[in-house]
């Protein structure tokens, strides 16, 4: 019964080894998709290269389907996994600001590691910025207590929120994703034609 960590005695060292291997695979995938290059990542926001959207969404759909089926067949116990807590307004506003930062920097925290380790020096600047941001947050955290914990609804799931069946929502998201991918391909072609037509 998974998660293995809570049901079998696994030595901490083995878990950390697993973390290392998972991280290495993750880093490889990010680099192979070209996300070490900030300019490629940011093209998402100019519609000429929708790779970020494609990778993000296809990863979510794959993982979502996998978790659904594994928990359906009893391999994974979903009462024991971590479901991120929902803080409505902090996550909406934080998301918008994160989006600003993302286009400013061109890299997200995970991809900035890949960037630095493929020699891209702007990744180092992002590192420095992130460390500074954390220090700044630690300094100002007392002022922000009210905002930080506002509008929390706990670790509920989307299908509970919408009073839907888990399976139906999974199917809907898979469908929306496929339509979105097709659409993204069309948008990409259109914007690439536009920019190559004008030059």
Partner 1 sequence: MKTNHILAILAIVGGISAAFTNHSKKNGLYPDWKFQKEQVEGKRLAFISAHHLADLIYNREEKLILFDTRTWKAHEAYHIPNSLLYDPGIAPKAGIKSGIIVVYGEEEDAALYMLARELRGRVYILKGGMKAWYSLVLFPDFMKFHVRNSDRLEYILRRSRFFGGQPQNTQLLNLEFRESRFREGC
Partner 2 sequence: MNIKEPRPYWNPYIVGVGIGLLIIFSFLVTGRGLGAIGAFNGLMASLVHVFAPDYALSKTTYSTYLAGVDHPLKDWVVIEIAGVCIGGLFSGIASRRFKFEVIKGPGISRMTRLIFAFSGGLFMAYAAKFTRGCTSGLALSGGSVLSPGAWLFMISVFIGGYSIAWLMKKVWN
Partner from partner 1, partner 2, none contacting 191, C-beta within 5 to 8 A by type = none
Q: How far is the CB of 78 from partner 2 (least distance, A)?
A: 8
Q: How far is the CB of 60 from partner 2 (least distance, A)?
A: 4
Position 98 contacts partner 2 (CB under 8 A): yes
Q: How far is the CB of 93 from partner 2 (least distance, A)?
A: 7
C-alpha distances in Å from residue 167, one per residue of 5, 58, 174, 179: 26, 18, 11, 19
Position 188 contacts partner 2 (CB under 8 A): no
Residues 170, 68: contact at Cβ < 8 Å? yes
Copy the structure tokens of residue 134: 């954390």
Give the Cα separation of 128 and 137 in Å (integer). 14
Identify which of residues 3 and 122 has a Cβ nearer to partner 1 in the complex: 3
Binding mask 41-80 for partner 2 (x = CB under 8 A): -xxxxx---xx-xxxxxxxxxxxx-xx--x----xx-x-x
Copy the structure tokens of residue 156: 């509920």
Give the Cα separation of 174 and 60 in Å (integer). 9
């Amino acid at each position: 019964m998974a998660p293995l960590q809570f049901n079998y005695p696994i030595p901490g060292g083995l878990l950390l080894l697993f973390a290392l291997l998972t991280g290495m695979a993750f880093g490889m995938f990010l680099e192979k998709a070209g996300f070490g290059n900030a300019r490629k990542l940011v093209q998402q926001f100019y519609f000429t290269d929708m790779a970020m959207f494609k990778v993000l969404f296809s990863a979510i759909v794959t993982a979502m389907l996998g978790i659904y089926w594994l928990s359906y067949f009893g391999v994974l116990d979903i009462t024991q996994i971590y479901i991120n807590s929902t803080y409505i307004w902090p996550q909406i506003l934080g998301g918008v600001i994160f989006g600003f930062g993302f286009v400013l920097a061109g890299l997200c925290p995970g991809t900035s590691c890949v960037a630095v380790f493929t020699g891209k020096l702007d990744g180092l600047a992002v590192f420095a910025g992130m460390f500074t941001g954390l220090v700044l947050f630690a300094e100002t955290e007392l002022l922000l207590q009210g905002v930080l914990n506002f509008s929390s609804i706990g670790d509920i799931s989307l299908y509970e929120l919408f009073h839907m069946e888990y399976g139906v929502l999974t199917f809907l998201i898979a469908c929306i994703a496929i339509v979105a991918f097709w659409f993204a391909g069309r948008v990409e072609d259109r914007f690439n034609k536009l920019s190559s037509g004008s030059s």
